[in-house]
Amino acid sequence: MSRRLGAALLVMVWLLVGCDSDRVTSPPRSKDGSRPPNSSPAAPEGEVRVGVLGEPATLDPYSVDSSDLTLALTRPLYPSLFRLLPDGEVRPELALSLDVTASGARVRLREASWSDGRPISASDVIRSVEEARAPSGFARVRTAEARGPRMVVITGDVADWPLTLARAAPIVPSRRGVYGGPFVLAGRTPGLELVLQPNPRWWGRSVGLERVRVRHIASIDIMISLLKRGELDVGATPSALNLSGRLEAAGLEWAQALGWESVWADFGAADVSASERLGAVQALDLSRMESVFVASLGRLVATPDRSRAGSRPLQELDIAAPRDDELLVLYQEAIFEQLKGAGIASELSAIESTEFYGGWLRDNPVDVALRRSTGVPGGLPGAGAADALPLARVSTVLAWRPGIRGPQPNPTLEGPLWNLESWSREANGG
Break the chain into its structural domains and give their ranges.
47-54+179-257+397-425, 78-165, 259-395
Pairing of strands 104-109, 95-100: antiparallel
Predicted local distance difference test score (pLDDT) of residue 382: 58
Domain 47-54+179-257+397-425 is found in CATH 2.40.50.100: no
Confidence of residue 270 (pLDDT cuts 50, 70, 90): confident
Could you tell me which residues are beta bridge partners of residue 393?
262, 299
Residue 27: other Cβ atoms inside 10 A: 11
Given a contact cutoff of 8 angstroms between Cβ atoms, the answer to whether 391 and 263 are in contact is: yes
2 pLDDT tier (thresholds 50, 70, 90): very low
Q: Which has the minimum average pLDDT: 42-56, 172-186, 195-209, 287-301?
A: 287-301
**What pLDDT digit, counting tens, does each position of 319-349 carry?**
999 999 999 999 999 999 999 999 999 999 9
Nearest-angstrom CA–CA distance, 208 and 286: 44
168 sits in the region (left: phi over 0; alpha: psi -120 to 50; else beta) called left
For domain 78-165, the CATH architecture is Alpha-Beta Complex (3.90)
Cα dist. 91→119, 152, 160, 232 in Å?
Answer: 22, 18, 13, 30
Lowest mean pLDDT among 155-159, 229-233, 289-293, 300-304: 300-304
Residue whose C-alpha is closest to residue 301's, from 411, 392, 380: 392
Most confident region among 39-48, 136-145, 279-288, 356-365 by mean pLDDT: 136-145
Q: Tell me what the pLDDT averaged over the chain comes to.
A: 88
- Specify whether the CB–CB gap between 334 and 12 falls below 8 A: yes
Band the pLDDT of 33: cuts 50, 70, 90: very low
Residues 115 and 138: their CA atoms lie apart, in Å, by 23
| CATH architecture, domain 259-395 | Roll (3.10)
pLDDT over threshold 50, residue 28: no
Q: Poorest-confidence range of 39-43, 84-88, 112-116, 396-400?
A: 39-43
pLDDT at residue 297, rounded to an integer: 65
Residues in the chain: 430
pLDDT band at 159 (very low <50, low <70, confident <90, very high): very high
Query: Using 50, 70 and 90 to split pLDDT, how confident is the model at 22?
Result: very low
pLDDT at residue 4, rounded to an integer: 38
Q: Return the amino acid letter for 325.
A: D
Express as a percent the part of the chain with pLDDT over 70.
85
Whether pLDDT at 6 is above 60: no
Residue 35 has pLDDT above 70, yes or no: no
pLDDT value at position 428? 64
